[in-house]
Structure 1
Amino acid sequence: MSMFYPTLLLCVYGFFANLRPSEPFLTAYLLGPDKNLTETQVGNEIYPVWTYSYLVLLFPIFLATDYLCYKPVMVLQATSLVLTYVMLLKAQGLLAMQLLEFFFGLATASEVAYYSYIYSVVEPTHYQKVTSYCRSVTLFGSAAGSLIGQLLLSVAKVQLLHLVIITLASASVAFVAPWFLPMPKRSLFFHKSLGAVEEKQQRESRSLMEKGEDSESKVPLNNQDVSSEASRSSAAGNGSSGLVEGLQMLFTDFLQCYRCRPLLAWSLWWALATCGYFQVLNYAQVLWENIRPSQEYEIYNGYVDTLSTLLGAMTALLVGYLPVSWALWGELVLCVLSLLMAVCVFVMDTLRNIWLCYSSYILFRATYMLLITVATYQIATNLNMQRYALVFGVNTFMALLLQTLLTVVVVDSAGLGLNVFTQFLIYGCYFAVISVVFLISGLWKLASRRHSEQGVLANSPEEPTLLRSVTQALADSTS
């Protein structure tokens, strides 16, 4: 029951917070008679605000989530979602829509609380189950919202304004759930009990003794003794000294994690690819609007979002069954599939056929979901939960930092302010560069491995065997 109650509330919250029938038609709604904005205002002045606010808020929200023990930040996220859709429904003008994007950036940055809360209230033996429940229900909520929106638009012929009202109602239902969640008594960095620290140390020690850890692919988890970590944890509960201790522990863990070359490689792809993925998702609707204007034709963005989400979830499930040695071939697989993502973006940009755009977008999202699942798995299997949260946060921050630079230079009207077709040409080239980077890295890794294997063969006990054979032959001849 202790696991069931918070998991059920989290699933309810995750489903309704992601049930957004208006999401696939946001660009059409902003360009339509309800808001009457121009394409330049939407693409070059409104959407970039989400990127900037997400970047600025991510790190302080990450710290506040742990320091405040998750629940208050989840309430903040739910409040931000409600404010976002109230403004989308009622507010008018460019400045109001930019403020709306700020609140949505706050809600997006606060997602870390949703995905971290459950680990503070359930036992580690249930981590895998509750993680799968929470992540799958958010995907299902997103897919259901897109499908409902498309069916209401195509079959019931409702107005886009009504989809915003339904989304606001769903966000209001989600707003209720976090208030009933139990308040955690511990967190990952700032509020850890001595017993929890000792239990974690013992569990990690047993794990390391039972498994012959590969020095290249594993990060040492027990570089400090129990007493020192316990003293840091006890200090973590005492005001400002606890904040300083928590930040010191974050920095120490950061240095230890990124010394591991395989983890660094997967994290590099995570940051680079997520940056491009966010850009394509943010501006895909603007591209489609240029190819098939919603004021003149019926659009099917909801079906596309539904299919891409479900196919992405299916490809993520397939990861566990792929017979691939990721330690050996992982970087070359990243090269090939990053090239496939580049091709999808080039097709969307150059052929300018709406059906090819939709198909390429679905394939693009499914490929990313497959690879990000592999990257998550490769990182998570080498780290404890505490460090996984840190690495996830750092990788996401780096992705947002790169995305901000790309947005400022390419999209924002204060920069080049390029049209959407030129933007997508740049995004396609961006993924092609990622592919080249990991091709070079993969080939270098294979060459290094082959060189080391040859070195092992050269130092194998063949020479003593040959010496014994010669000695034996000499002995036989003399006899």
Structure 2
Amino acid sequence: MPVLYSTLCLCAYGLFSNLRPSEPFLTAYLMGPDKNLTEAQVVSEIYPIWTYSYLALLFPVFLATDYLCYKPVLVLQAVSFVVTYVMLLKAHGLRAMQLLEFFFGLATASEVAYFSYIYNVVEPAHYRRVTAYCRSVTLFGSAAGSLTGQLLLTLAEVKLVHLVWATLASAVVAFVPPWFLPMPKRSLFFHKKPEGAIERQCDYTGALIEKVDNKVPLDNEDVSIVLNYAQPLWENIRPSSDYDIYNGYVETLSTLMGAVAALLVGHLPVRWTVWGELVLCALSLLMAACVFVMVTLKSIWLCYGSYILFRATYMLLITVATYQVASSLDMQRYAMVFGVNTFVALLLQSLLTLVVVDSAGLGLDVFTQFYVYGGYFAVISTVFLFAGLCKLSMRRHAEQEVLSRSPVDTDST
């Protein structure tokens, strides 16, 4: 029952904190009459602040998560979401929006507490299903928010600012569940573990290194070089000031497809021990193709379709990766792996943002940016291909050695 109670509280928090009707229309809102910002300001001066803030805050928040035993950081994340959307409603000007991105970066950095909390209170046998449930409910919340925003915009013809009010209301509701979570009594660095909890650590040291190395290139932060800037791309192809936009439907469909895939992971056995890297290679190549289609053909419908396929592929991939990491580690090691994995991926994204997006760097237009992103995922697929072929070669060599030794063993017997 305590595990069920904690899971339900986390699911409620994940649902409402991700139910954001304004999210698919954020760029249109910032560039519209409510905020009256230019595309260059939004893309090159405001959005990059989230990346830099996330990078700067990730490590101290990770340490605070462990020291404070997870729950206070979840409360901090809930507070940060409320502050973010209050500022989105009331604040004006470039500097205010940059400060808003800082608070959103703080909220994103606090995500480490979400999954690491549940792995701290459940048994390893339940990791797969708990991962699927918690991730699926956040995806369904995101889908519901996107659909609600689109329906309000299309059918009720509300203004974009009303969608922000609805998002704030959801954030206020999400502020409640973390307070009712029980406080875990174990952590990684600052608090002693119970006796016997150290048994599995040495066995999983190699797995820890392998999982971090294999999963970094496709972490959430790498994909968000695409997800964050899709709206400016759509705005260039089909301006919201001249046409009806359907960003909400697109976000809903892509998220639902990912949520279904994530839910299936909780009930279907997944074995990536042999073909994992080659599967990652194929999926990375598919994601690269989606990005190139979005920017090359410049058709809003093909752009929408490619985005849906891109995001659904990622959702499936990251859910399996999360479960694979968690199932191979001591429950208290998960936060460390998640933090290191996220930090390395975020560092790559920050460098890419600084060079490609930021006005202090090249400040490329959105179309050129997407050509760079497509090339990035193509390179990632090549890395996975090389890793997969090396792994297969080593496996075959090991099998041949076993076969060559077996006759000798039989004769000696």
Alignment TM class, shorter chain as reference: over 0.9
Q: Is 1:375 equivalent to 2:373 in the alignment?
A: no
Q: How far 1:55 sits from its partner (Å)?
A: 0.6
Q: Report if the CA contact (8 A) 1:267-1:375 is conserved.
A: yes
1:171 counterpart residue number: 171
Match of 2:387 among 426, 432, 441: 441
One-letter amino acid of the counterpart of residue 197, structure 1: E
* Residues 386-397 of structure 1: pairs in structure 2 closer than 5 A: 386-397=332-343
Q: Is 1:277 paired with 2:257?
A: no
Alignment of 1:447-466 (within 5 A): 447-461=393-407
C-alpha change, 1:83 and 1:342, in structure 2 (3 Å) is same
Deviation at 1:380, TM superposition (A): 2.4
SS of equivalent to 1:24: helix
- Is 1:428 the equivalent of 2:374? yes
Q: Does 1:83 align with 2:86?
A: no
Q: Structure 1 stretch 388-397 or stretch 312-321: which is displaced more? A: 312-321
Q: Aligned-pair distance for 1:26?
A: 0.2
- Once the two structures are superposed, the pairs formed by residues 268-417 of structure 1 within 5 Å of their partners are 268-271=216-219, 274-319=220-265, 325-417=271-363
Q: Judge conservation of contact 1:291–1:354 (CA < 8 Å) in 2.
A: yes
CA–CA separation in structure 1 for the residues paired with 2:209 and 2:66? 25
Shift of 1:77: 1.1
One-letter identity of the residue aligned with 1:108:
T
Please state how far the C-alpha of 1:309 moved relative to its aligned partner.
Answer: 0.8
CA distance in structure 2 between the partners assigned to 1:39 and 1:284 by the alignment: 13
User: Which residue in 2 is equivalent to 1:239?
Assistant: none
For the 8 Å contact 2:119–2:334, the answer to whether it is kept is no
Q: Is the 8 A contact 1:2 1:122 kept in 2?
A: no
Q: CA deviation at 1:9?
A: 2.9
Which of 192, 195, 198 does residue 197 from structure 1 map onto? 195
Instruction: Provide the rounded CA distance (Å) in 1 between the counterparts of 2:138 and 2:409.
Output: 61
* More divergent stretch after superposition (176-185 vs 286-295): 176-185
Amino acid at match of 1:353: S
Question: Which amino acid counterpart does residue 376 of structure 2 have in structure 1?
Answer: Y
1:270 and 1:395 in contact (8 A); partners too: no
Instruction: Measure how far apart 1:259 and its partner are.
Output: 7.1
Q: Which 5+ residue runs of structure 1 have no aligned equivalent?
A: 205-219, 224-252, 466-479
Alpha-carbon distance in 1 for matches of 2:302, 2:180: 46
The CA deviation at 1:170 is: 1.1
Larger RCO: 1 or 2 (CA < 8 Å, sep 6+): 2
**CA distance in 2: counterparts of 1:314 and 1:429, whole angstroms:** 29
The structural deviation recorded for 1:351 is 0.4
Find out whether 1:185 has 2:169 as its counterpart: no
Looking at structure 2, the residues matched to 453 and 259 of structure 1 have their Cα atoms a distance apart, in angstroms, of 24
Aligned counterparts of 2:397 and 2:252: Cα–Cα separation in 1: 47
How far the C-alpha of 1:373 sits from its partner, in A, is 2.3
Q: Aligned partners of 1:429 and 1:346: how far apart in 2?
A: 9
- Aligned ranges 1:55-70 → 2 under 5 Å: 55-70=55-70
Deviations along 1:54-73, whole A, 9 cap, x unmatched?
01101110110111122221
Whether 2:149 is the aligned partner of 1:149: answer yes
CA distance in 2, matches of 1:98, 1:446: 47
Task: Tell me what 1:116 maps to.
Answer: 116
Supply the RMSD in Å over aligned alpha carbons.
2.5
The whole-number CA distance in structure 1 between the counterparts of 2:135 and 2:262 is 11
**Could you tell me whether the CA contact under 8 Å between 1:21 and 1:145 is conserved in 2?**
yes
Comparing 129-138 and 293-302, the one that deviates more? 129-138
CA contact (8 A) 1:276 1:427 kept: no
Give the C-alpha shift of residue 258 in structure 1. Answer: 6.6
**Contact 1:266–1:378 (CA<8 Å) still a contact in 2?**
no
Instruction: Please give the alpha-carbon distance, in whole angstroms, between the structure 2 residues aligned to 1:175 and 1:129.
Output: 25
1:324-358 CA distances to partner (integer Å, 9 max, x unpaired)? 75222111111111111100000001001011011
- 1:318 CA displacement: 4.0
1:266–1:379 contact (8 Å) kept in structure 2: no
Residue number among 211, 214, 232 corresponding to 1:266 in the alignment = 214
Rg larger for: 1
Residues in 1 aligned to 2:266 and 2:260: alpha-carbon distance in whole angstroms: 11
1:455 and 1:121 mapped to 2: Cα distance? 43
Q: Name the count of aligned residue pairs.
A: 412
In 2: Cα distance, 1:79 partner to 1:401 partner: 25
Q: Does the CA contact (< 8 Å) of 1:81 and 1:103 recur in 2?
A: yes
3-state SS in 2 of match to 1:461 = helix
The alignment status of 1:221 with 2:201, answered yes or no, reads yes
- Partner SS state of residue 413, structure 1: coil
Q: Contact 2:84–2:103 at 8 Å: present in 1 too?
A: yes
Percent same amino acid at aligned positions?
A: 73
Q: Which runs of 5+ in 2 are unaligned?
A: none
CA deviations on 1:268-315 (whole Å, 9 max, x unpaired) are 4444xx443110001000100000000111111111111111101222
* More off after superposition, 40-49 vs 379-388: 379-388
Secondary structure in structure 1 of the residue aligned to 2:142: helix
